Amino acid sequence: MRALAAYLAAAALAALPALADPGDVEKGQKLFQQCKSCHQIGAGATNRSGPHLNGLFGRKAAGLDGFRYSKSFQRAGAGGLEWHAETLDTFLENPRAMTSGTRMSYRGLKNAKDRTHLIAFLRQYSDDPANIPEADPTAQGIDHDLDPAILALVGDPEYGAYLSGECTTCHQAAGGDDGIPSITLWPEDQFVVAMHAYKTKKRNHPVMQMIAGRLGDEEIAALAAYFKDLEN
């Protein structure tokens, strides 16, 4: 009985976000060096080639007035993407998994610990949960990178051609992206990463979560192989 109680207590503790590793702000500041050429943060920060990052936590994607965001970002914002520790963690790991057409050229921070540090640093410039209880918690980075075996799958373009019928009802094979983005000639690895982000619901769009949700790894690979050099 006591063992069970202890177990339950431990389980409850494990589920508490308070236990999450808050990251090292100083290490984060060093990591931020690579962001600085485009993003300002802190007193007097303004938009440069990237938007300023003050008050980032709780901000809607593409949420700053006066900054010209990519279509991809605008779509993500309209679809409900907001910046919190978890979404930032996913985004920083591979920006194109979440917003395929972002103008940010940064390839991503693969090390989960490093992301924790960077997020802890960014966290300093948003409302502080200690003062404002409803402000965002600061959570730790989790490693959710795609299994390299999935990325290494070689897709069958003939199968992809058949499966693509499910895509081309909405995404025009000839490209064109009024309202719905083009997926024609999409680089294979980015296609795979984006579909898995929908499948695992890291990326938010109900139709795409539903469609990708029942695509197997082989099917995603086949589609990627087909769309990457679709000729019209």
Partner 1 sequence: MTLNRRTFLSTSAVAAATLAAPMVRAQGKPRVVVIGGGAGGATAARYIAKDSKGDIDTTLIEPTRTYYTCFFSNLYLGGFKTIDEIGHSYGGLAAAGVNVLHDWAVGVDRDAKTVTLAGGGTLNYDKLILSPGIDFVDMAVPGWDISAQNAMPHAYKAGSQTELLKAQLKAMPEGGTFAMVAPPNPYRCPPGPYERVSMVAHYLKLNNPTAKIIVADPKPKFSKMALFQEGWNNHYEGMVDWVGEDFGGGNVSVDHAAMTVTIDDEVTKVDVANVIPAMKAGRIADIAGVTDGNWAPVNAADMSSKMDPDVYVLGDASQQGDMPKSGFSANSQAKVCANAVRGALTGSKVFPAKFSNTCWSLIETNDGVKVGATYEATAEKIAKVDGFISQTGESADVRKATYEESEGWYAGITADMFGAKA
**What residues make contact with partner 1 under the rule CB under 8 A?**
75, 77-80, 158-159, 161-163, 165-166, 168-174, 176-180, 206-207, 209-211, 213-214, 232
Q: How far is 59 from 82, CA to CA, in rounded Å?
A: 6
Annotate 56-76 with DSSP letters as a single string.
-TTPBTT--TT----HHHHHH
| In the complex, minimum distance from the CB of residue 80 to partner 1, in angstroms, rounded to a whole number | 7
- Tokens representing 65 are 């007035």
- Residue number, 133 or 165, with CB nearest to partner 1: 165
Q: Which of 198, 193, 194, 192 is nearest to 211 (CA)?
A: 198
- Residue number, 170 or 185, with CB nearest to partner 1: 170
Q: How far is 61 from 59, CA to CA, in rounded Å?
A: 6
Q: How far is 147 from 108, CA to CA, in rounded Å?
A: 16
| In the complex, minimum distance from the CB of residue 197 to partner 1, in angstroms, rounded to a whole number | 17
| In the complex, minimum distance from the CB of residue 217 to partner 1, in angstroms, rounded to a whole number | 16
- Residue number, 6 or 180, with CB nearest to partner 1: 180
- Residue number, 44 or 179, with CB nearest to partner 1: 179
Q: Which of 29, 47, 214, 37 is nearest to 123 (CA)?
A: 29
- Residue number, 117 or 171, with CB nearest to partner 1: 171
Q: How far is 58 from 37, CA to CA, in rounded Å?
A: 24
| In the complex, minimum distance from the CB of residue 184 to partner 1, in angstroms, rounded to a whole number | 11
Q: How far is 88 from 93, CA to CA, in rounded Å?
A: 8
| In the complex, minimum distance from the CB of residue 68 to partner 1, in angstroms, rounded to a whole number | 17
Task: Tell me phi and psi for residue 82, to 5 degrees.
Answer: -125, 155
| In the complex, minimum distance from the CB of residue 166 to partner 1, in angstroms, rounded to a whole number | 6
- Residue number, 13 or 170, with CB nearest to partner 1: 170
